[in-house]
Amino acid sequence: MSKKYHVGYTCGVFDVFHVGHLNLLERCKDMCDILIVGVCDDRYVREIKQKEPVFPADQRARIVEALKVVDKAEVVDIETTNDKMLALKKFKFDVLFSGDDWKGSERYKKTEEQFAKLGASIEYFPYTKGISTTDIKAKMKNL
């Protein structure tokens, strides 16, 4: 059975890996033959997310790449994480998978227009309700 896209790409921190992450990656892989995952570097987590990563980026990338639904995982810098055109140039994907919280934002409207000119798409997925890394960290503090 042919999938909708050949090469798909998504990007995330994937710190304290949980079922929400797995749900996302499985949904991505359902839509593409090859799934590439960008794992945000530690600088991104500290400077942009304003959090301290529990695990360093190289370990997070190893965990993600070990999943059977992921064909390649690679640590990506702030610039590649923030500028999806850089990511497209680097990974040559047909589709970017993103959380639906970005849908309709100015940044993503612009990216959609840029991608359309190059034949790439964006698919938006909802987050898994009831689980987040922030919630897990909070629970761990209370143990």
Strands 5-12, 32-40: pairing kind: parallel
The reported pLDDT for the residue numbered 38 is: 98
The per-residue pLDDT for range 15-71, each reduced to its tens digit, is: 988 888 999 999 999 999 999 999 999 999 999 999 999 999 999 999 999 999 999
- At 23, list the tokens: 């749900």
The reported pLDDT for the residue numbered 22 is: 93
pLDDT band at 129 (very low <50, low <70, confident <90, very high): confident
Non-local CB neighbours of 6 within 8 Å, separated by 6+ positions: 32, 33, 34, 94
Burial class of residue 94, CB neighbours in 10 A (0-12, 13-18, 19+):
buried
The reported pLDDT for the residue numbered 132 is: 74
The per-residue pLDDT for range 84-109, each reduced to its tens digit, is: 999 999 999 999 999 888 889 898 99
**% of residues, the chain, pLDDT over 70:** 99
Q: Which of 99, 127, 97 is nearest to 19 (CA)?
A: 127
Q: Which domains does the chain have, with CATH numbers?
A: 5-141 (3.40.50.620)
Place of tokens 């995982």: 73
CA distance 69 to 79: 26
The reported pLDDT for the residue numbered 1 is: 65
Q: Are 2 and 31 in contact, with CB atoms under 8 Å apart?
A: no
pLDDT score of 12 more than 70: yes
Quote the pTM value: 0.91
The reported pLDDT for the residue numbered 27 is: 95
